[in-house]
């Protein structure tokens, strides 16, 4: 199978030989991708099966890695964080911009630079923004801009505290956030 979070053993008792061919990539019907650049993670029920999967994978990708079902679950979890959640953040950004007549493509140079940076430095070292700086004033103002979206305020608060656990501004506390939001009205 080709799933990141399904164990190889889902085929046990159903097939004589089985294995995993997991290309770690996001796929869309409207966008072609170059398979040779996609890392493919494989696993086989036996050395022979794994060898067959490896030969097949090697014809498509330059990077083939054996990975157990147990470890592949964590790879998939990391992929959800790196791809699905970041794409959701792009969607939120797009909605915010759209509500104010600003085209989303103005974000593309920023997104590209952020991505290019992590080719050279760790994501942690590449992190920028008000949470890294502990800029409580900017964070408080940005939270107020989302008064009508409590879900986004909560997500902003959680992500900001993940970026900088030392942030202790009361406005970032959910209870205080409600009080501060009401004062503004």
C-alpha torsion sign, points 31, 35, 41, 42: positive
Q: What predicted TM-score, i.e. pTM, was given to this entire model?
A: 0.79
pLDDT tens-digit profile, the chain (185 residues): 778 888 888 888 888 899 999 999 988 889 888 888 899 999 999 999 999 999 999 999 999 999 999 999 999 999 999 999 999 999 999 999 999 999 999 999 999 999 999 999 999 999 999 999 999 999 999 999 999 999 999 999 999 999 998 765 444 455 444 434 433 32
**Residue keyed to tokens 């209870």:** 175
Please tell me the predicted confidence (pLDDT) of residue 179. 38
Cα separation of the two ends of the chain: 54
Please tell me the predicted confidence (pLDDT) of residue 120. 95
Gap between the Cα atoms of 127 and 114, Å rounded: 9
């Amino acid at each position: 199978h080709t799933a990141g979070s399904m164990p190889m053993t889902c085929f046990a008792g159903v097939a004589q030989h089985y294995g995993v061919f997991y290309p770690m990539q996001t796929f869309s019907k409207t966008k072609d991708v170059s398979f040779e650049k996609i890392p493919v993670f494989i696993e086989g029920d036996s050395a022979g099966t794994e060898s067959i999967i490896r030969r097949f994978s090697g014809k498509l990708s330059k990077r083939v890695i054996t990975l157990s079902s147990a470890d592949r679950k964590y790879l998939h979890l990391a992929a959800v964080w790196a791809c699905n959640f970041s794409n959701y953040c792009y969607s939120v950004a797009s909605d915010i911009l759209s509500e104010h007549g600003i085209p989303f493509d103005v974000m593309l140079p920023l997104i590209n630079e952020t991505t290019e940076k992590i080719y050279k430095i760790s994501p942690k070292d590449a992190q920028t923004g008000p949470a890294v700086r502990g800029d409580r004033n900017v964070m408080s103002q940005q939270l107020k801009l989302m008064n009508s979206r409590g879900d986004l305020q909560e997500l902003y608060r959680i992500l900001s505290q993940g970026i900088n656990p030392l942030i202790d501004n009361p406005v970032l506390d959910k209870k205080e956030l409600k009080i501060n939001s009401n004062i503004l009205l």
